[in-house]
Amino acid sequence: MNENNPLRDVFDAIADPARRRLIRLLAEAKEMPLHELTAQFQMGRTAVQSI
């Protein structure tokens, strides 16, 4: 976390394409089981959870 500019941390986080996709999927579905969510990504469940 950047103590000098906390907004930079937010923008860095949402700059990641995988994070934006995850947010979009959750926003559109409103509710989605984890196994369905992780099936949308080319990574393991723990990797998706840490996004």
How far, in Å, CA of 25 to CA of 5, rounded? 28
pLDDT at position 28: 92
On whether the CB atoms of residues 19 and 51 are closer than 8 A, the answer is yes
The domain segmentation of the chain, as residue ranges, is 6-49
Q: Report the alpha-carbon distance of residue 4 to residue 15 in Å, rounded.
A: 19
Q: What is the pLDDT along the chain (51 residues), one digit of tens a residue?
A: 556 788 888 888 888 888 888 889 989 987 888 888 888 888 787 877 777
The pLDDT value recorded for residue 40 is 87
